[in-house]
Structure 1
Amino acid sequence: MSIGFIGFHYPKAEHFEEFIDRARQMGEAMRSTPGFLSGGCWTTATPDGDSVVTACQFESPEAFQAAMTAARSLGTVAVFDKREQRPREIHTLQSQFQLTR
């Protein structure tokens, strides 16, 4: 069973590009772990300003945990702080089926 991760982030406008870079650093750390399948970062407009959506997929719960450990090793890159206008919304998902081209 594969595991997914999706996060909705709300950086302040003056920290938006910096947040994208932080998301890229976390993604690179996760990508280096065995069992990482895919990941990406998207942006969207909301009434409060632009938001960032991050998503990753892993082969197993163990691979997901290893990737999260790698991301946490980056220290302050992986934590909510004053550069964000509201708390993150983070969800872990279990695959039920997957469509690919």
Structure 2
Amino acid sequence: MSIGFIAFHYPRAEHFEEFIDRTRQMGDVMRSTPGFLSGGCWTTATPDGDSVVTACHFESQEALQAAMAAARGLGPVVAFDEREQRPREIHTLLPQFQLTR
């Protein structure tokens, strides 16, 4: 069964572009792991400032876990720190149906 992953990040304004680069680095690692299907990064305006939303789709829970383990090797790239104004919101997504063109 495939599985999704979505994370909402809230970088401080002065670290916004740096944070986009951090998500790109993490995405490169995830993309290189077996079982990765797709992923991307989006930004959105919120009442508290801009947020960064990352989402990935994997073949299985095991593939997601392997990608997360590989990404942890990036150290400060994935660590929550003072560059973020509030804690991240991270969710695992179980499939119900998928729309494709």
The bucket for the TM-score relative to the shorter chain is over 0.9
Per the alignment, in what secondary structure is the counterpart of residue 17 of structure 2?
helix
Q: Structure 2: 5+ residue runs without aligned partners? A: none
Partner residue of 2:60? 60
Per the alignment, in what secondary structure is the counterpart of residue 95 of structure 1?
coil
* CA apart distance, 1:40: 0.3
Partner residue of 2:37? 37
Q: CA–CA distance in 2 between the matches of 1:97 and 1:83? A: 36
* CA apart distance, 1:7: 0.3
Q: Which runs of 4+ in 1 moved over 3 A?
A: none
Q: CA–CA distance in 1 between the matches of 2:3 and 2:74? A: 22
Q: Structure 1: 5+ residue runs without aligned partners? A: none
* CA apart distance, 1:76: 1.1
Q: CA–CA distance in 1 between the matches of 2:2 and 2:79? A: 25
Q: Deviations over 1:39-80 (max 9, x none)?
A: 000000011110000000000011001100111110111111
* CA apart distance, 1:99: 1.2
Residue type of the alignment partner of 2:83: R
TM-score (norm 1): 0.98
Count of aligned pairs: 101
User: Counterparts of 1:1-101 in structure 2 under 5 Å?
Assistant: 1-101=1-101
Q: Percent of pairs identical after alignment? A: 84
TM-score (norm 2): 0.98
